[in-house]
Amino acid sequence: MTRIDNKPSGRGDAVTVRGLVKHYGETKALDGVDLDVREGTVMGVLGPNGAGKTTIVRILSTLLAPDSGRATVAGYDVVRQPRQLRRVIGLTGQYASVDEKISGRENLYLIGRLLDLSRRDARARADELLERFSLTEAAKRPAGTYSGGMRRRLDLAASMIGRPEVLFLDEPTTGLDPRTRNEVWDEVKTMVGDGVTVLLTTQYMEEAEQLASELTVVDRGKVIANGGIEELKARVGGRTLRVRPADPLELHPLAGMLDDLGITGLATTTVDSEAGSLLVPILSDEQLTAVVGAVTARGITISSITTELPSLDEVFLSLTGHRASAPQDPEPADTRQEVAV
Amino acid sequence: MSSVTPLTADARIPLRGHLRHTGALIRRNLLWIRQDPESMFDALLMPVVFTLLFVYVFGGSIGQALGGGQDGYVQYVIPGMLAMTSMTLSQGVGTGFNQDFNSGVMDRFRALPIGRGSVLFAKIAVELVRMLFATTVLMIVAVAVGFRITDWPGLFATVGLSAAFASAIMWVFITLGVVMKNAQSVQAMGFLVLFPLQFGSSIFAPTDSMPSWLRTFTDYNPLSSLADAARGLMVGGPVAHDLWVTLAWSVLITAVMAPVAIHKFRTKS
C-alpha cells in the first residue's frame, strides 16, 4: 500500500540522491553527492579508484548507512525502508559475489528461494537465466571452476532473478580481458533493453560510452560533472587530438597559438608535459584539419599526431584541470580497498 | 541502518518466509559439505584421534591415580570428550562466516529482502548437524575402547546439553568471524579462547590435584560444569547442580553474545 503512496507515479527518477556524505574514520569517502537516475535509463558513474563510486553503490543497495544526506531507490528511502528497497534492486559487485563452492544452478536457485519464489518457480527461473546467459552447459559445475567471464555472467544472472526495477553494476568488467568485457557489455545491453534502470560504475570512458546514456563524473567523493554522454563528450571534446612536437620547448607556444586561433572544442587545450604532448579536444574533422593546417603554417615539426577517445584521465584533465586523484589501476585485487579504507 | 523501522506491512517478513529463507540457506551449507567432503574430516578425525590419544597415552597413568586403571579412565574421559568435541566444532561457524564476508557472498545476501537472522540460524543449524555426526563417531570409538553405555536417556540428554551450550558459544565465534579480518585469524583466535577453557577444566582429569589458583578457574569454567554434568548423566553421579549451572551459562552467553553478534553482523560494512 505504502509503496504506491510513497512512489512517484509515472516515469520519474528511479534513483534520487541528495547531499550524501560518508566518512570512513578521517577519510571523507563521499562529500555531498547529488545524483538522479531517470527510470529506464543507464547512468554511468565514472571516476578513479577511491573516488567514492563503490560507496555510492553500497549505500544505495542498503549495505552501508550514510552519515548524512538522503537517497531513494524506486521511491524507497535507503535508511527507513531497506526491506522494501531490497525487493526491487539487483546488485552485481566488483567482486563476483557468487558462492564458489556450489554450482551455478544452485546459486541461482538459492537466490530465487531467498526472493520467495516457490521451489518450482525458483528452478524454472534458474534454468531460464542459465540459458539466457549461456551457462546451461556449466550449470552443474561449482562456480569456482568458472572462468572470469562466466562468473561475471552468473553474477549478472543472479542479480536478475527477482526482475529488479533498478540494477546496480559496480565495475562490471574490471579485471576482464577485452573479449570477455564485450560479452558482458552485450549482456548488460540486453538487460537494459528489458527496461531495467541501471546505475553502473566504471573507470573506463569507453565502457561508459558503450553502456550509459548519462554520466556522472566523481572525484574524491564529489560530483565534478554530470549530463548526457554526448554533452559531456562535447565538453571534453568528442575526440582528443594528441599532438607531439619534435621539440618539447614548442609545447607551450603551440598551445597558445591554438587557443588564439579558437579552433578547438568547448574545452581548452591542455599541455601534458610528462608525455611531451598537447591534448586538443576537437569536435569535427574540419577542426582536425584546421589544427594540422595551423601547425604546418607555423613550421613546427611534429613527431606524432593521433586522435583518441578521451580516457578517464583526459576527461579529468579537461573538466578539472588536474589528473584523476588516484592512478588508474586495472588490477581487481586492489579495488576492494575502496571499501576498506 | 541502526534505526530499522519497518513502517509497512509488506516490509515485515512472515514466519513462513523466515523458515523458507533459513531452509534455503541450510541447503546451501549442506551442499558445501557434499561438494567438499574433506570439510567433514575434522568432525570425523578429531574424536578418533583425541580418544585414542587420551585413553592410551595418558589413560593408564591417570587411571591408576584415580584408582580405576585405564578402564576407569575411559568412563571418566568420554563424557568430557563429548563436551569438548562440540566445543571445538562450534569454531567452524566463525571461519565460515568470515569466508562469506570476504568472498562477497554475504553482500549479496544482505542486499536481499531476507531477515539477517536467517543467515545466522542456517549456519548454526548446519554446525549442529556436523556436531551430531562427530558425536556419533565419538561414541562408536568410545565403545570400541571399552566405554559402557549404561544410560541411553542420559546419553541423549548429554548430546542435547552439549548442543545447547555449543549454540551459545557459537555466538562468540560468529562475532569473531564478523569482526576479524581473515579466516586464519578467526581460527587462531578461536584456538586461543578454547584451548585454556578445554584443558583448564575437569574434562581430562579431576581438578582435586590442581593448585588452588587454577582450581578457582576450573571451578568457574563452564566447560567443567558441562563435563561434570555429562559425566553424571552418562555414567551416574550427581547431576542437578552442574546441569543447572551449564544451562545458566548457555542462557547468559546467548543473552550477551547473540545481540552483539547480530549487531556486528548488521552494521559491518
Among B6, B24, B113, beta carbon nearest to A110 = B24
Considering only alpha carbons, which residue of chain A is nearest residue B2?
A: A65
Mean pLDDT across B112-132: 90
State the cell numbers at B209.
Answer: 590435584
| pLDDT value at residue A11 | 52
| pLDDT value at residue A44 | 94
Do residues A287 and A262 make contact, with C-beta atoms less than 8 angstroms apart? Answer: no
Report the share of chain B in percent with pLDDT over 70. Answer: 96
- ipTM of the complex in this document: 0.84
| pLDDT value at residue B225 | 94
Over residues B162-215, the pLDDT tens digits come to: 999 999 999 999 999 999 988 889 889 888 888 899 899 999 988 888 999 999
Alpha-helical runs (H) found in A18-52: none
Residues in chain B: 269
Average pLDDT for chain B: 88
State the cell numbers at A71.
Answer: 537517497
According to DSSP, the residues that pair with A77 across neighbouring strands are A72
Question: Alpha-carbon distance A144 to A140, whole Å?
Answer: 11
Interface test with B, best of A62, A111, A114 (most B CBs within 10 A): A114
DSSP string, A130-169: HHHTT-GGGTTSBGGGS-HHHHHHHHHHHHHTT--SEEEE
User: Which chain A residues touch B if contact means CB-CB below 8 Å?
Assistant: 1-3, 58, 61-65, 79-84, 86-87, 89, 91, 93, 95-102, 106, 110-111, 113-116, 142, 158, 339
- For residue A99, the chain B residues in CB contact (below 8 A) are 28, 103, 105
Do residues A185 and A14 make contact, with C-beta atoms less than 8 angstroms apart? Answer: no
According to DSSP, the residues that pair with B29 across neighbouring strands are none
For residue A283, report the phi and psi dihedrals to the nearest 5 degrees: -110, -20
Do residues A239 and A305 make contact, with C-beta atoms less than 8 angstroms apart? Answer: no
Look up the pTM and report it.
Answer: 0.79
Q: Among B6-15, B26-35, B233-242, whose mean pLDDT is lowest?
A: B6-15
- Per-residue burial over A150-181, b if 16 or more Cβ lie within 10 Å, else e, is bbbbbbbbbbbbbebbbbbbbbbbbbbeeebb
Among A3, A82, A101, beta carbon nearest to B32 = A101
> Measuring CA to CA, which residue among A280, A271, A272 is closest to residue A308?
A280
Question: Alpha-carbon distance B266 to B269, whole Å?
Answer: 8
Q: Give the CA diameter of chain B.
A: 69
| pLDDT value at residue A338 | 37
Q: How many CB atoms lie within 10 A of CB A185?
A: 17
> Measuring CA to CA, which residue among B159, B92, B158 is closest to residue B127?
B92
- For residue A110, the chain B residues in CB contact (below 8 A) are 24-25, 27-28
Q: How many CB atoms lie within 10 A of CB B144?
A: 11
Residue B9 confidence (pLDDT) above 60: no
Upper half-sphere CA count for residue A88 (Cβ side, 13 Å): 23
Residue B1 confidence (pLDDT) above 50: no
| pLDDT value at residue B265 | 86
DSSP string, chain B: --S----SGGGSPPHHHHHHHHHHHHHHHHHHHHH-GGGGHHHHHHHHHHHHHIIIIIHHHHHHHHTSHHHHHHHHHHHHHHHHHHHHHHTHHHHHHHHHHHHTHHHHHHTSSS-HHHHHHHHHHHHHHHHHHHHHHHHHHHHHTT-----HHHHHHHHHHHHHHHHHHHHHHHHHHHHSSSHHHHHHHHHHHHHHHHHSSSSSS-STTS-HHHHHHHHH-HHHHHHHHHHHHHH-S--HHHHHHHHHHHHHHHHHHHHHHHHHHHH--
Positions in chain A short of pLDDT 70: 1-11, 95-96, 234-238, 262-268, 309-314, 320-341
Do residues B145 and B230 make contact, with C-beta atoms less than 8 angstroms apart? Answer: no
CB contact under 8 A, B28 and A106: yes
Question: Alpha-carbon distance B110 to B125, whole Å?
Answer: 19
| pLDDT value at residue A324 | 60
CA distance B44 to chain A (A): 21
Burial of B173 from C-beta contacts in 10 A (0-12 / 13-18 / 19+): buried
Q: Which residue has the higher pLDDT, A327 or B23?
A: B23
What is the Cα B81 distance to its own chain's centre?
12
Over residues B94-112, the pLDDT tens digits come to: 888 888 888 888 889 989 9
Considering only alpha carbons, which residue of chain A is nearest residue B30?
A: A102
- For residue B33, the chain A residues in CB contact (below 8 A) are none
Among B8, B103, B114, beta carbon nearest to A114 = B114
Inter-axis angle of helices B152-179 and B69-90, to 10 degrees?
A: 40
Among B7, B105, B114, beta carbon nearest to A99 = B105
| pLDDT value at residue B245 | 95
Report the share of chain B in percent with pLDDT over 90. Answer: 49
The residue with cell 559491518 is B268
Strand order in the sheet with A277-282: A270-272, A277-282, A239-245, A302-308
